[in-house]
Amino acid sequence: MSIEHSPSKSELEAEIHELRRSVGDTVEALSYKFDVKARAKDRARALPASVPVLAASVVLVGVGVWLWRRRS
């Protein structure tokens, strides 16, 4: 035998507040996911930090190989 507990007004308000926050987070995540332009800009901002290092490494290796073959 169980006694059902009906939630108080403050409990319902807290549950509604949490649900609204959760739905808001979900809508924000979905809107970012579908905003291809913003995601592309974010990715482009992250790339320039690593691209020059990679390019310099490739050039150095290429020059090293060229010098090594030239001596042989």
**How many domains are there within the chain?**
1
Q: Is residue 15 part of a domain?
A: yes
Share of the chain above pLDDT 90, in %: 60
Q: What is the pLDDT of residue 43?
A: 83
Mean of the per-residue pLDDT values for the chain?
A: 88
Q: Is residue 56 part of a domain?
A: yes
Q: What is the pLDDT of residue 52?
A: 81
Domain interval for residue 43 = 9-71
pTM for the complete prediction?
0.47
Higher-confidence residue: 50 or 20? 20
CA-to-CA distance for 60 and 69, rounded, in angstroms? 14
Confidence label for 44 from pLDDT (cuts 50, 70 and 90)? confident
Distant-in-sequence, close-in-space partners of 15: CB < 8 Å, separation ≥ 6: 7
Q: Which two tokens stand for residue 72?
A: 């042989």
Tell me how far CA of residue 3 lies from CA of 6, 8, 56, 60, in angstroms: 10, 15, 72, 77
What is the pLDDT averaged over residues 21-32? 95
